[in-house]
Structure 1
Amino acid sequence: MDKQYVIFDMDGTLVDSMPYWRKLARTYLAKKGLTRGLDELEDEVRSLTLSESALFFIRHFDLEVDAEQVISELNQIMADHYHQDIPLKPGVLPLLEELKARGVRMCVASATDLDLMEACLSRLGILPYFEFLLSCEDMGISKRDPDIYLEAALRFSADPSEIAVFEDAWHAALTAKEAGFYLVGVYEEEEKDNWDRILGLADESVFFDHPDFSEK
Structure 2
Amino acid sequence: MDKQFCIFDMDGTLVDSMGYWKRLGREFLAQKGVTENVEPVLERIKPMTMTESAALFIESFALSGTPESIAAEMNAVMDEHYRRDVPLKPGADRYLQALRSRGARLCVATATPEPLARLCLERLGVADQFEFLLSCDAVGGGKDRPDVFFEAARRLGSAPADTAAFEDAIYAARTAKQAGFYTVGVYDENSAGRWMEMTALADETIRDWREAL
Equivalent residue letter for 1:157: G
Residue 3 of structure 1: how far off its partner (Å): 0.7
Residue of structure 2 in register with 1:204 after alignment? 204
Taking the aligned partners of 1:183 and 1:102, their CA distance within structure 2 comes to 20
Equivalent residue letter for 1:105: R
Taking the aligned partners of 1:97 and 1:209, their CA distance within structure 2 comes to 12
Q: Is the 8 A contact 1:113 1:135 kept in 2?
A: yes
Matched, 1:28 2:28: yes
Residue 211 of structure 1: how far off its partner (Å): 2.7
Identity rate, percent: 47
Residue of structure 1 in register with 2:9 after alignment? 9
Q: What are the residue-to-residue correspondences of 1:1-216 with 2, within 5 Å?
A: 1-208=1-208, 210-212=210-212
User: RMSD between aligned alpha carbons?
Assistant: 1.4
Equivalent residue letter for 2:95: L
Taking the aligned partners of 1:138 and 1:46, their CA distance within structure 2 comes to 18
Q: State the TM-score, normalized to the length of structure 2.
A: 0.95
Q: Is the 8 A contact 1:153 1:159 kept in 2?
A: yes
Displaced runs of 4 or more, over 4 A: none
Residue 100 of structure 1: how far off its partner (Å): 1.2
Q: Is the 8 A contact 1:95 1:211 kept in 2?
A: no
Change (3 A) 1:61 1:175: same
Unaligned runs of 5+ in 1: none
Equivalent residue letter for 2:181: F
Taking the aligned partners of 2:102 and 2:16, their CA distance within structure 1 comes to 26
Q: State the TM-score, normalized to the length of structure 1.
A: 0.94
Q: Is the 8 A contact 1:136 1:142 kept in 2?
A: yes
Residue 210 of structure 1: how far off its partner (Å): 4.2
Equivalent residue letter for 1:114: E
Q: Is the 8 A contact 1:8 1:107 kept in 2?
A: yes
**Which stretch of the first structure deviates more once superposed, 93-102 or 38-47?**
38-47
Taking the aligned partners of 1:37 and 1:27, their CA distance within structure 2 comes to 14
Residue-pair matches, total: 213
Residue 138 of structure 1: how far off its partner (Å): 2.5
Taking the aligned partners of 2:57 and 2:194, their CA distance within structure 1 comes to 25
**Which stretch of the first structure deviates more once superposed, 36-45 or 176-185?**
36-45
Equivalent residue letter for 1:62: A
Taking the aligned partners of 2:92 and 2:123, their CA distance within structure 1 comes to 15
Equivalent residue letter for 1:14: L
Taking the aligned partners of 2:167 and 2:86, their CA distance within structure 1 comes to 18
**Which stretch of the first structure deviates more once superposed, 194-203 or 16-25?**
194-203
